[in-house]
Structure 1
Amino acid sequence: MKVKRWIAVGLTAAVATVGLEAIAPVGAGATAVSINCQGITGDNASSLGDSKATLGLLSSISPGGGSGLSFPAEITTNAPAKVQPNTGPFNADFNLTMTMPASLMGPARDLLGLSAVTVTDATYAIQASGAASTLISKTVPSEVISLTSNPVVIQQSMSGTITPTGPGAIIYSVSASTRLTIAINQSVAGVQINALTVTCTGGNDIGMTAVQIPGSPNVAQPLNVAGYTAAVTGLGLLGSNITPDNNNAIHPDTLAVTAQAPNGGYTAVGGGAAFFLAPQEPGYYVANYNVCAGSLPVAAIPGANATQTLTWPESYADKGLNAHPLSMRLGFKGQTTSPISLAQLNGQPSPSNEKMLDFFHRFFGKFVAPSPTAVQTALEKLSTIGKGNVKVTRHEGGGYDIEFVGSLADAPQPAIEIAEWNTWLPSDGLASLMALMPGASGGEAGGAAPKTADQLNNELMSGAIKFDEWLEGQGELLKANIIAGATTPEMIANITAMFPKSPEVAVVNAGKTTIPASETGPLCSPFQIGYFIVPNPFLAAQVQSATA
């Protein structure tokens, strides 16, 4: 018995244990994103054209969107922050709350008198890219959206299985497969609006899951050792049964016992091996161990600057009644720039507001696009941007490329907005004119014949009538044409084309924050050793000899 006690003391002294911390997965959480959508081309959205053209018309009534829409959204997910490479596929749920843009819901509710719209053939999709390639999507054939609430929101949930393809980061974002059709099915002033179809992409990433980088030690499985009762048995581990993965060196001092066999015996480690002092009862004894390799570097994931374009949707030269832009204000994060001049007469800036125009600036002033420097200076004066934090250059084909730099670089940024759009003819006149239009069903004719379009234009240019009177006359002319059955979509399109369309802002890159380089921390492998313990024949022989 003295010998056995000595062996137990020696094994205990050889134990080198290292505390191990298990990191529980942390959800990627909720993220606010801007879902940017564009009207498609080639469909039959209305009697004025496809979805892109029809949305352009709506932007003239409610400036700020051009032929696109921006949906503020919040997405929550339970996707884990970290997974191990050997965990295999995992499930992820995504909950989407998307706010319908006021630039579309306002005209639908106020101009068309709708209390609800139907969203049809909608596909909501999340793309997992990087260390996985999975599309999680949900198709909703039809959904009625009430316009009585403020704001108007759409809520959807998606679930799917994501299979890591290797180490690295799995990035989640709104997929370009996202698409929806907003059914209007209303007629106003002879114009039939059917349904608007948009395709969408997300802004900033929703979240990520890190797939742990390989490098944890390789452990041969299974590990079983035979031994005798009341004796010590051992198994060499390092260099034979435990080997480096991807040449990541194993730290011998991390070899440790994490749990003794619950049914008896005593195990310890030392010299790169495991030892087991078996009890006097035969049986199968399983003990738990752990061993670690060194930490490995994780490369940085580079960020990206947010970039946008601001373009002119049409030429403003030679429009009827010399209609042209006067000024605009740009908005960013709730702040608005000073007016940016868009018109000149003989080299002198025109007044920024239509009510301040004289005859010559109305009918002889010309649209002059501001320089990129002028746009950049106006944006830099906003405290939400600041000097040196935005770069504006000329866009190929007209307009501007806008890049957020400086303290706003490498980060998601919302879209710049057209906060105010001042024109001659006044852009709010189009809404006033359409409000004067009766339903296509018509009515009884009566009273004097209205003035012709040429008469109205000549009187406006001569100063005989004011702009409000010109609008009223155009409305009376449209009423007479509708009663006579002469109104056509082409006529309505010609009238709406008289009013200068607001610029279009498109998000090219929503921006991404740089994820700095880091370390994995020790890469560890837990394992078990099973000990088959049989009766000790030497001990039995000693007993027989002692009793002889």
Structure 2
Amino acid sequence: MSVRSSRIIGGAAATAVIASTFGLGAGPLTATAATATTTFTCSGIAGDTAGTIAGAPKSSQDLLNLLASLGSSPVLTLPVTVESNVPSTVSTGTGGFAAEFAYKIAMPDSLIGQVKTLLGVNSIKVKDASFAVGVTGAATETLTATIPQIDVSLATTPVVIDQTVSGTINPTGPGLIYYRPGSARLSIEVNGSVAGQANVGTLTVECNASGLLGSTAVRPPGSPLITKNPITVAAAAGETVTVNLNDGATIVPDEGNPILWDSLKITNQATAGQANLSNGILSYTAPNANGSYDVSYAVCGAARVIEGAPGIDEVQTIEFADKAYEGTRPLWFTLKFNGEETAPIITGFHNDIFGNAVPKVWWDDSDLLMHVLFGYFRAPAAAQVQAALEGLPSVEPGDVTVTGGPHTGNLNTPYTVRFAGRLGEADVAQVEIGQWNTWLPNDGLAQILAAAKGLTGGGSADAPVPPTAEVSWQQFLAGSISLEQFFTQVGDRITHEIMASIDIQAILDFVTSLFPKAPLTKTPVAGEAAIAASDTGPLCSQGVVQVVVTGAAQVAGVSTVANSAAAAGAQRTPAARVTYAG
């Protein structure tokens, strides 16, 4: 066999291997699978060493270009069958959904026979293969599949390669989602030779395709339901295709919502040819070029009423933290709301010589001793708390109602503060405790806690531990410290040992317990504004008609996509008019 023949077969072998690797796929969906065919065109890459011819290194591009010099094509054309498993329609707001694209390539028996006979191989390996499906429109994704290695046996025919690309589609809003074949790249390990002159090692090719694999309409509930999406029909170059969209089956009402047929319109023309729409019938005149041409359309259902929702009045509570104020008692407190502070609310009383209750004069401490010795705590009535809040500049009578509150001898019942009037049906500010005045001033507690900060047994946590008296005596005898320093260190050690024997935390807990705890405020029911009734406006869906044009003079590099059901419902007339009837 001549070297010339070896080159031809070497290039053909690489071509055959490429065709055996286009399988894409995904997980199952509860959707009717649609089958389409697309054509991949593959070219060898430059810059690699895919083999040798008469000892000279050759790239993948060089080996495939040999086909052109021998009267063939340097571009490999591979027809691929694709089964798309995606829903034809989904409702808005339902989240992501799974998508699957299963690619199947059957290698020609004649080509496989030549590869086995001339190159002497019975199997090949596809390595580092990557495939993609482009998702555009109402979702933008790129689904990819990477396959480290596929072992392909050439022992039996037909040689069929099945692979999958899958992923999750996340719609961004209503509209059409388009699925189109993406690019692919793969390396094919052949490791064959012809007469010791042509050696094919590992070929690397990049492939592209065009056409529409399928689509999904993302639509709001109540919008028209498009039962077949896309609608795929075939036409010869220059012919006209008509599709009856208003045939009672292609577009149907959803949830009984009537279709507004006067809203039916073309939203996107195909890249070539001309589409028109009249009385529910879409007509398309095909161009004189083979290919797949997509025409998008939209149709709407009637608007729906969105029921409103009543507002919610906010409810807050004020609850005394201590269940019995004995000993040290609160004398008065204030409330804060919207940055404003109420007048003092009196809680400290003592009885005069006639047994009458005398409230604490909040601005004067001259009667403090009487309250310390003979005073008692009395929780304010709910009406007093309400009056204090209504005294704020931002609160008017009717804006707040206070009920509940503690009873005599029982502080377990909180005050319930309900906002209404101008402050009703709204998320209002939290009522907070402002000043909290007791006969043991709270700022005194703060000072004590600050002074004791860091103290545990033994004094300050940051202070170094003084040496023992024995160590200090040895330091004095050695002359390292003076007599004055000796006495100072001994004194510090005695202080340290005394502090170490005191439970500082217990003392702080006792002191803290002397100070009454301030009330707690909470919001068990947050306020919400009312939602007025409204309507959705027209509820619209989108669909696509795909016309696969054939019969024009073949142009290199043009790819087509056709649906296996393209002929269903279509008829050719002597006038060369094709009609799709649903």
TM normalised by structure 2 equals 0.47
Structure number with higher helix proportion: 1
Q: Rg: which structure is higher?
A: 2
TM normalised by structure 1 equals 0.50
